[in-house]
Amino acid sequence: MATARREVHTQVSPITVQHPLDPLTPDEIEDAVEILRADRSLGKRVRFETVVLNEPPKAQVLRYKDGDPIQREAFIALLDNDTGSVYEAVVSITGSTVKSWEHIPGVQPKIMLDEFYECEEAVKRDPAFREALRKRGITDIDLVMVDPWSAGNFGIKGEEGLRLSFARCWLRSSPTDNGYARPIEGVIPVVDLNRMEVLRVEDHGVVPLPPNSGNYAAEFVREFRTDLKPLEITQPEGPSFQVDGRRVSWQKWELRVGFTPREGLILHNVSYLDKGRQRPILYRAALSEMVVPYGDPGEAHFRKNAFDVGEYGIGTLTNSLSLGCDCLGEIYYFDAVMNDSRGGVMTIPNAICLHEEDFGILWKHVDWRTGQAEVRRSRRLVISFIATVGNYEYGFFWYFYQDGTIEYQVKLTGIVNNAAVQAGEVPKHGTLIAPQLNAHIHQHFFNVRMDMSIDGQNNSVYEVNTESEPRGPGNPQGNAFFAKKTLLATESEAQRVVNPFSGRSWLITNPSMRNYLGQEVAYNLVPGENVLPFAHPEAAVSKRAGFMAKHLWVTPYHPDENNAAGRYPNQHPGGDGLPAYTKANRSIENTDIVVWYTFGHHHVPRPEDWPVMPVMYTGFSLKPVGFFDQNPALDVPPPSHHNGHCHP
């Protein structure tokens, strides 16, 4: 049993394309790059920011039947390091032609993975940087860590048009210790990423290195607790899901697994089998942007607000997962295939984890007169990936339940970003988490874009608030309250924030489909934990991440509107993305709509977050409301007694 459990089901991404939404294969990436290189005579100084599937028009995808011929296109964004110019191209891979080529003025693509390494090397070579280290008594350059942070856009003179990183530096005490325990405070190398040269080294004054190490790795832990007995997850007959290429089916659920280096995991064509009909719920769902605004006003720290999707490409930073640690049970892994910045292919093996989990009770009732007990165990399908962004880890988890519920959860862990302070200093905009180590207060905002298709493309959105009935003839005892539905008919009406006091949620309905009670079929967006930003509305981060200001946004579907903070948030002055998309205040009633949900995790660091942070959870749910005629999970069989899992 133990051997079977450790069996690794690794699957190389399918060579043959089975569906128009399958991600580009390694061959297709290479072909697309080659076709464009030849057509445009691209030189060596060109970096490929993005080479991804150019998703076919929705109508075409919805018409697609197994075996139909598939036309394949790549969307390519590239940066010419010599001129700093950005170009976008669409390449037909099946037709071996360049379909479009466009110069995009005034934008900066994301910081690419190769640039991370090259930037660190450039900083370490720089004499001014070495001088700043010498001033601090740091001599071993090999132990220095340089994290190239995005520069933001603060309207500062001299930064216009430059491709910049304001790097942040740390010092390890040995090659494997936690370098993030010792920030090299005050030293900010400013790097021109096009020339890969240090422009200057800002030095905001020497602060001693914090005295303590912050090690958490097993090699450093002197004593482990000894009272843990084995807890085995076994699935002797294998998992209950089936995988065919990128298509996953699990009980009544069906979906396709996509991936881009920018968004990471993408879900396509999510549907649920009900009375013999595969009923659509989501056409496409993915994380569209995230941002982490920090609250310290200091000269060395005000720039900290990472857009980890648009500025770094969260998918690029995906971990390769291994069995028994990240996921337990019978695992199926999907590899992630993407381009590197020179147009080559980079594969992250075991990037996406697919598995099942027991999830306690699904439903239960005991007839207290007869003693008859009916209980069903809940099981969920989990599709996830985990990304490491410098010091931080984010796990992105989609859960599918037997009662038709979909849940999205972000797991935050890793090492809190920090700064050194003088001995005795008590920080205002942060928490002392170790001697002379300040973890700044910050927030994590995520925006998930959900192209809804509740039983078809034309959907509407209602806000649901519960209200007290005024006292009077209709409510003589004052006990009455009721849920009130309000149609959100336009984009501006649909810019909303959570209200836990009215039990607020948002209902996505299909006005032309009714359940047997005559109600519009619907799914409810149920908020979880949420918060609003504390940055001033005029602060740079508020302009660049306008999506933070509202939790709910709804737009009519448009193929070019995919990014909550715009296509190129890196060094962007602001206003792009949802604020721009919704300016025309289009109708969103009974049409093909996209729901964008923003949720914020508020992080006042604790000493317990150090040296590595126990997982914090944040997310939301989509719950069927009248989508089914009744509890759709009555047909889940009772737990079996013979396998020892259920002793009377």
Binding residues (CB under 5 A) for Co ion: these are 603
Beta carbon nearer to Co ion, 415 or 452: 415
Q: How far is the CB of 491 from Co ion (least distance, A)?
A: 31
Asked if the peptide bond before residue 639 counts as cis, ω within 30 degrees of 0, the response is no
Beta carbon nearer to Co ion, 296 or 589: 296
Q: How far is the CB of 605 from Co ion (least distance, A)?
A: 7
Beta carbon nearer to Co ion, 33 or 439: 439
Annotated catalytic residue: which of 87, 180, 294, 392? Answer: 392
Q: How far is the CB of 440 from Co ion (least distance, A)?
A: 10
Instruction: Kindly give, in sequence order, each residue whose CB lies less than 8 Å from that of residue 407, ignoring residues fewer than 6 positions away.
Output: 380, 397, 398, 399, 401, 619, 620, 621, 622
Q: E-strand spans in 457-582?
A: 458-468, 481-488, 505-514, 520-527, 552-556
Beta carbon nearer to Co ion, 37 or 411: 411
Residue (of 48, 41, 123) closest to 81 by Cα position: 48
Instruction: Kindly give, in sequence order, each residue whose CB lies less than 8 Å from that of residue 370, ignoring residues fewer than 6 positions away.
Output: none
CA angle 552, 558, 564 (to 5 degrees): 40
CA 584 from centroid of its chain's CA atoms: 28
State yes or no: is 66 an active-site residue. Answer: no
Instruction: Kindly give, in sequence order, each residue whose CB lies less than 8 Å from that of residue 35, ignoring residues fewer than 6 positions away.
Output: 91, 92, 93, 96, 97, 98
In angstroms, the Cα distances linking 34 to 51, 301, 584 are 12, 42, 40
CA 219 from centroid of its chain's CA atoms: 31
User: Among positive and negative, which fits the CA dihedral 308, 309, 311, 316?
Assistant: positive
Beta carbon nearer to Co ion, 24 or 613: 613
Q: For tokens 């660091």, what's the residue?
A: 605
Q: How far is the CB of 281 from Co ion (least distance, A)?
A: 31
Q: How far is the CB of 238 from Co ion (least distance, A)?
A: 38
In angstroms, the Cα distances linking 308 to 345, 351, 388 are 22, 17, 10
Q: How far is the CB of 616 from Co ion (least distance, A)?
A: 7
CA angle 544, 548, 84 (to 5 degrees): 20
Looking at the DSSP bridge assignments, the partners of residue 636 are none
Q: How far is the CB of 444 from Co ion (least distance, A)?
A: 5
Beta carbon nearer to Co ion, 350 or 418: 418
Beta carbon nearer to Co ion, 572 or 603: 603
Distance CA 415, CA 178 (A): 9
The one-letter amino acid at 396: F
CA 14 from centroid of its chain's CA atoms: 24
Residue (of 193, 111, 92, 176) closest to 142 by Cα position: 176
State the CB neighbour count (10 A cutoff) for residue 295: 18
State yes or no: is 308 an active-site residue. Answer: yes
Q: How far is the CB of 529 from Co ion (least distance, A)?
A: 13
Residue nearest to Co ion (CB): 603
Is residue 104 within 8 Å of residue 86, measured between CB atoms?
yes
The one-letter amino acid at 236: P
Beta carbon nearer to Co ion, 453 or 618: 618
Q: How far is the CB of 615 from Co ion (least distance, A)?
A: 11
Q: How far is the CB of 541 from Co ion (least distance, A)?
A: 15
HSE at residue 619, side-chain half, CA atoms within 13 A, is 19
Beta carbon nearer to Co ion, 73 or 147: 147
Q: How far is the CB of 618 from Co ion (least distance, A)?
A: 10
CA angle 49, 53, 57 (to 5 degrees): 130
Beta carbon nearer to Co ion, 430 or 574: 430
Instruction: Please give the backbone phi and psi of residue 328, each rounded to the nearest 5 degrees, phi first.
Output: -115, 150
Distance CA 87, CA 499 (A): 43
Beta carbon nearer to Co ion, 543 or 603: 603
Q: How far is the CB of 530 from Co ion (least distance, A)?
A: 15
Instruction: Kindly give, in sequence order, each residue whose CB lies less than 8 Å from that of residue 482, ignoring residues fewer than 6 positions away.
Output: 466, 467, 469
What burial class does residue 190 get, using C-beta atoms within 10 Å of its C-beta: 0-12 exposed, 13-18 middle, 19+ buried? Answer: middle
State the CB neighbour count (10 A cutoff) for residue 413: 16
Annotated catalytic residue: which of 147, 308, 451, 576? Answer: 308
Beta carbon nearer to Co ion, 431 or 562: 431
Structure tokens at 161: 């048009």
Is residue 324 within 8 Å of residue 209, measured between CB atoms?
no
Structure tokens at 34: 């080659």
Q: Which residues are catalytic?
A: 308, 392
